Amino acid sequence: MNQISSDFAPPLKLIAPFFQWGVVFYLLSMGALLFFASTFSYAQMDIAGWLHLFLLGYVMMIIFGAMAQLIPVVLETGHVVVDVYYVILPLLGIGAGVMVMGFWFLPSLLPYGGLLVLIAMLIFAFENMATLKKTAISTLTVSTVKWSNGYLLLGILTGFSIALGLSGQLSIDVPLMLKAHVYAVLGGYVVLTIMGLSLILIPMFSLAHGFDEKAIHRAFRLVILGVGVVFVGAFFTQEWMMMIGYAINTLGIFFYIWQIYNIAKLTVRKELDIWAKSMIFAFLSLLLSLILAGIYFIFGDESLLHAAVWFLLLGFISSFITGHLYKIVPFLVWFERFAPLVGKEKVPMLHEMYSKEGAAMMFWFTAIGIFFGGVGLLFENDMLFKAGGSFLFTGAIFLYITMKKMLSYGA
Q: For residues 384 and 189, give the distance between their C-alpha atoms in angstroms, rounded to a whole number.
A: 32
Per-residue confidence (pLDDT) for residue 411, from 0 to 100: 57
Q: What whole-number percentage of the chain has pLDDT above 70?
A: 97
Q: How many residues does the chain have?
A: 411
Per-residue confidence (pLDDT) for residue 137, from 0 to 100: 74
Per-residue confidence (pLDDT) for residue 71, from 0 to 100: 83
What backbone torsions phi and psi does residue 69 show, to the nearest 5 degrees? -80, -45
Per-residue confidence (pLDDT) for residue 4, from 0 to 100: 45
How confident is the model over 190-201, as a mean pLDDT? Answer: 91
Per-residue confidence (pLDDT) for residue 8, from 0 to 100: 65
Q: For residues 43 and 165, give the distance between their C-alpha atoms in angstroms, rounded to a whole number.
A: 13
- Mean pLDDT computed over every residue of the chain: 90
Per-residue confidence (pLDDT) for residue 387, from 0 to 100: 97
Instruction: Between 237 and 381, name the one with better pLDDT.
Output: 381
Per-residue confidence (pLDDT) for residue 176, from 0 to 100: 78
Per-residue confidence (pLDDT) for residue 38, from 0 to 100: 95
Per-residue confidence (pLDDT) for residue 1, from 0 to 100: 45
C-alpha distances in Å from residue 57, one per residue of 19, 90, 108: 11, 11, 20
Q: How confident is the model at residue 3 (pLDDT cuts 50, 70, 90)?
A: very low
Instruction: Between 60 and 160, name the one with better pLDDT.
Output: 60
Q: Structure pTM? A: 0.93
Angle at 119 between CA 116 and CA 124, to 5 degrees: 125
Q: What is the pLDDT of residues 265-302, one digit of tens each?
A: 888 877 789 999 999 999 999 999 999 999 999 999 99
Given a contact cutoff of 8 angstroms between Cβ atoms, the answer to whether 380 and 386 are in contact is no
Q: What is the pLDDT of residues 215-228, one digit of tens each?
A: 999 999 999 999 99
Q: For residues 305 and 289, give the distance between their C-alpha atoms in angstroms, rounded to a whole number.
A: 9
Q: What is the pLDDT of residues 105-133, one digit of tens each?
A: 998 898 899 899 999 999 999 998 888 88
Q: Reduced to 3 states, what is the DSSP secondary structure of residue 4?
A: coil
Q: For residues 133 and 128, give the distance between their C-alpha atoms in angstroms, rounded to a whole number.
A: 9
Q: What is the pLDDT of residues 170-195, one digit of tens each?
A: 777 777 788 888 889 998 999 999 99
Neighbours of 243 (CB within 10 A): 14
- Would you say residue 167 has pLDDT above 80? no
Per-residue confidence (pLDDT) for residue 104, from 0 to 100: 96
Given a contact cutoff of 8 angstroms between Cβ atoms, the answer to whether 330 and 404 are in contact is no
Instruction: Between 35 and 174, name the one with better pLDDT.
Output: 35
Instruction: Between 278 and 407, name the one with better pLDDT.
Output: 278
Q: What is the pLDDT of residues 52-102, one digit of tens each?
A: 999 999 999 999 999 888 888 777 778 888 899 999 999 999 999 999 999
- Would you say residue 232 has pLDDT above 80? yes
